[in-house]
Amino acid sequence: MKQEYIDGLGQVHLVKRKQSRRISVRYDPRGILKVSLPRRVSYQSALHYLVAHKKTIHSKICDLRKDQFARDLSGYSTRYHRIEMVREERKSLTYHINQGTIWVKIPAQMDIKSQQVQSTLRTAVEEALRMEAKNYLPQRLNELASQHNLSFNRLFIKKVQSLWGSCSSINNINLNIHLMRLPDHLIDYVLLHELCHTIYKNHSSYFWNHLQTLMNRDVKTLRAELNDYSPKLF
């Protein structure tokens, strides 16, 4: 991977991928352009492409930034928390989480669908998801590991942009807080998937066959169902 800064576009991550057939550009909500390119294409050629199409790419970035806040989260609920919006005569926008409720206090004249409010709602929802994940995932992972005679080293729970989970070479397991948005059977699928990686460090037929023996549903069906969800909130 190569990282560059391009004036007018900001931070750019260029990654060569075997499956890429052309240069493709994706905007990351953190403000980073992720560029995939075929292995035969040089990084310099990709940079020339970005500079040549800077105006068009910049326009699309602006549209995508607006779309990040197009979904109104005012009525959103997590597995164990619901959002309550409270309008008050106040100057600042705040939130706190207490006993299953995400309390969001909004200045009386502020538009609920504004970028500022929706950004705060995202932060609050992800904080609630983190709390839920730390309460639920360690217990469930240990239950599944014990049930299937599997073991892991350490567990880390974090917000990740593109993965539901991962397992390191020393059997540390990383789980995404956004797993809490999945139904129970898909959470179990991801957890068992990572536990299987403590034995098989690849996606060989041995890995998939072993995972299938642990699941009470068809693994291919579960994989397809998981693809209907995204690790990103929206």
Does residue 150 surpass a pLDDT of 90? yes
Q: What is the number of other CB atoms lying within 10 angstroms of the CB of residue 50?
A: 20
pLDDT score at 134? 97
Render pLDDT for 30-47 as a digit per residue (tens, 0 to 9): 556 788 889 899 999 989
Counting Cα atoms < 13 Å in the Cβ hemisphere of 222 gives: 21
Mean pLDDT, the chain, whole residue set: 87
Query: Is the pLDDT confidence value at 133 over 60?
Result: yes
- Beta-strand (E) ranges in the chain? 2-6, 10-16, 24-28, 32-37, 82-88, 94-98, 101-107, 155-158, 165-167, 173-176
Domain boundaries, the chain: 2-67, 82-125, 130-226
Residue 163 contacts residue 226 (beta carbons within 8 Å): no
pLDDT digits (tens, 9 = 90+) for 45-69: 989 988 888 888 877 776 665 554 4
User: Which tokens belong to 13?
Assistant: 């991550």
Give the full edge-to-edge strand order of the sheet including 165-167.
155-158, 173-176, 165-167
Of the candidate CATH numbers 3.90.1300.10, 3.30.2010.10, 1.20.210.10, 3.20.130.10, the domain formed by 130-226 belongs to: 3.30.2010.10
**How sure is the predictor about 122, in pLDDT bands with cuts at 50, 70 and 90?**
confident
Q: What is the mean pLDDT of residues 215-219?
A: 93
Q: Looking at the predicted structure, is the pLDDT value of residue 114 above 60?
A: yes
Q: Three-state SS across 48-85?
A: HHHHHCHHHHHHHHHHHHHHCCCCCCCCCECCCCEEEE
Q: Which of 96, 97, 190, 101 is nearest to 137 (CA)?
A: 190
| Chain segment 2-23, per-residue pLDDT in tens | 888 787 777 788 888 877 888 8
